[in-house]
Amino acid sequence: MSIAKQLRWLALAAMTIAPMLAAAPLVRAQVAVGISVGFAPPELPVYEQPICPGDGYIWTPGYWAWDPDFDDYYWVPGTWVLAPEPGYLWTPAYWGWNGSAFVFYSGYWGPRVGFYGGIDYGFGYFGHGYEGGRWEGGHFYYNRSVNNVNVTEIHNVYNTTVVNRNENRVSFNGGNGGVNVRPTADEQAVARERHIGAVGAQQQQVNAAKADRSLRASENHGRPPVAATSRAGAFSGSGVAAARSGGNYHPPENRGGNGGGREPRAGNESAPSRPAYVHPNELPKVNRPEPRSSGNTTADQKYQKQVDKMYQKQEQEHQKLQQKQDQEHAKAAQKQETTAQKQQMEQRHQQQTQQMEQRHTQQQQKVERGAPQPKAQPPHAKEPKH
């Protein structure tokens, strides 16, 4: 085949394949989007669901997102959104602990609902699957027992009682205090199916929430004034629902993404790369040293018992201090203390945590200095002369 014919064939193939690629839906699984935070997001606020604005809209629950510009969580209100195509359902986003930080997993649209961390978002999203409605013949039918629907305007409804025994408001999976749930085999299969990312209306909701200072966790302390909206981007009017509970969240004063550290920024080269932790449960997990192998079995075993005893005692001190600080947080909430009083309490907690961390580090260094040393090897004998 001549070069001219090869070029014409390639051009024809490109013209044939391009429309097919443009029409194909996005293929993606629910994956981490490169956002990691060293401390947990606030609890999910309690709120009423605004009324469904019309036929075909599907509820997408609210969630906490992360703004790296302010090193702060912010609330993205729940809202009603039109599905990108008939038959598609929404799998919510969620936060999950990966062993060193909280990682954000984005939501997606697809024929089936996948894993969303076992988080109870309510309104049909009770940890697994979706019980708020179903598709039949190209129409979405709403379960009125969990959705706020005007039956005079929307007639494709049904009633199925849902027994939800999960009453916690935890907003993350894994880690200390998180939801201890792993994906089922079906949910793992869903993750490998063809998906579509968030639609334009959802991105509009995110942009509006990010620009609203009152939705930052440091401002509303876990009780956002706009918890849900009837339509995306409409943060005022009759279709807006405020949180009915929350307000006990107090973020660390020195906070940041990427495991909790604050990276230096332009004009701030002296910014610390290591955060000042406020509470014991924000401290990174201690990496224990590998067992010693000095060649002296008795000495190695004795040293290992000493190490285990030290770390066990430190863990008990860690838990005791955390419980004490949690009790002080609860008392402060009951007394409705002022912002200045709460700040003083957080400063005291930070000092307590830093002193404990410093003390534990000194203990670890002292124990390591007493570790048994490898036996000296005897000098090699000279080979006899022949």
Q: For 31-63, give the DSSP string.
A: -EEEEEESSPPPPPPB-PPPPP-STTEEEE--E
Of the two residues 84 and 272, the one the predictor is more confident about is 84
**Rounded distance between C-alpha atoms, residue 55 and residue 151, angstroms:** 10
The pLDDT assigned to 17 comes to 36
Q: What is the DSSP string of 312-355?
A: HHHHHHHHHHHHHHHHHHHHHHHHT--HHHHHHHHHHHHHHHHH
Q: Which two tokens stand for residue 53?
A: 């604005």
Give yes or no for a contact between 232 and 204, defined as CB atoms under 8 angstroms apart: yes
pLDDT band at residue 213 under the 50/70/90 scheme: very high
Instruction: Reply yes or no on whether the pLDDT at 275 is more than 80.
Output: no
What percentage of the chain carries pLDDT values higher than 90? Answer: 49
User: Mean pLDDT, to the nearest integer, of 212-239?
Assistant: 93
**Rounded distance between C-alpha atoms, residue 63 and residue 171, angstroms:** 8
Q: Element (H or E) spanning 143, and its range?
A: strand 139-143
User: Mean pLDDT, to the nearest integer, of 376-380?
Assistant: 52
The pLDDT assigned to 349 comes to 86
**Rounded distance between C-alpha atoms, residue 253 and residue 276, angstroms:** 8
Query: Distances from the Cα of 103 to the Cαs of 9, 139, 188, 214, 222, in angstroms?
Result: 47, 35, 18, 24, 19
Name 214's Cβ contacts closer than 8 Å, sequence gap at least 6. 220, 224, 225, 226
What percentage of the chain carries pLDDT values higher than 70? Answer: 78
Is 2 in a helix, a strand, or coil? coil
The pLDDT assigned to 28 comes to 41
Q: Which residue has 């629907």 as its token pair? A: 149
Of the two residues 360 and 381, the one the predictor is more confident about is 360
- Reported as a single tens digit per residue, the pLDDT across 134-143 is 999 999 999 9
Instruction: Reply yes or no on whether the pLDDT at 357 is more than 90.
Output: no
Name 314's Cβ contacts closer than 8 Å, sequence gap at least 6. 286, 360, 363
Q: Give the domain ranges of the chain.
A: 26-241, 296-369
The pLDDT assigned to 42 comes to 95
> To the nearest 10°, the Cα dihedral for 322, 327, 329, 335?
-170
Length of the chain in residues, anyone?
Answer: 386
Name 348's Cβ contacts closer than 8 Å, sequence gap at least 6. none
The pLDDT assigned to 16 comes to 38
pLDDT band at residue 362 under the 50/70/90 scheme: confident
pTM of the model: 0.61
Q: Which residue has 């697994």 as its token pair? A: 128
Give yes or no for a contact between 143 and 158, defined as CB atoms under 8 angstroms apart: yes
